[in-house]
Amino acid sequence: MDTMTKLQEISFEIIANAGEAKAFAYEALAAAKEKNADLYEEKMNKADQSINEAHKRQFELLKEEANGELKDVTFSILVVHAQDHLMCVISTIELIRELAEIHLKGLQ
């Protein structure tokens, strides 16, 4: 597989997994609003699994580039978008955790 095809494939995997994580996190927040702690935990676990998979794929790219395994790497707006999407979703998940705590435990 050539480098550009590999970059595109991994970028789409990062985007898809991060998007899935975001969807699960918002489902978890909805459960927290309903005070359903068990469903919240289930959805957040799924969000964590998905974001971890996205992060794993990102790390794969970083490792291969650091080891000189990616030949003829050129700028790719798709890779930039994947990175941006991943980081935004990570921030969203952290914010949802904070909001969910308010909903589940109430204001202290």
Could you report the per-residue pLDDT of 15-62, keeping only the tens digit for each?
A: 999 999 999 999 999 999 999 999 999 999 999 999 999 999 999 988
C-alpha to C-alpha distance for 35 and 40, rounded to whole angstroms:
8
Q: Is residue 81 among the annotated active site residues? A: yes
Whether the Cβ atoms of residue 73 and residue 3 lie closer than 8 Å to each other = yes
Residue 2, pLDDT > 90, answer no
Given the candidates 1.10.10.1150, 3.30.70.330, 3.20.20.140, 1.20.58.80, the CATH classification of the domain at 3-105 is 1.20.58.80
CA torsion angle 18 93 26 80 (round to 10) = -30
- What is the pTM (predicted TM-score) of this model? 0.90
Quote the CA–CA distance of 100 and 58 in Å, as a whole number. Answer: 28
Alpha-carbon separation of residue 63 from 11, 29, 68, 71, 91 (angstroms):
15, 34, 9, 13, 23
Residue extents of the structural domains in the chain? 3-105
- Which three-class secondary structure state does DSSP give residue 107? coil
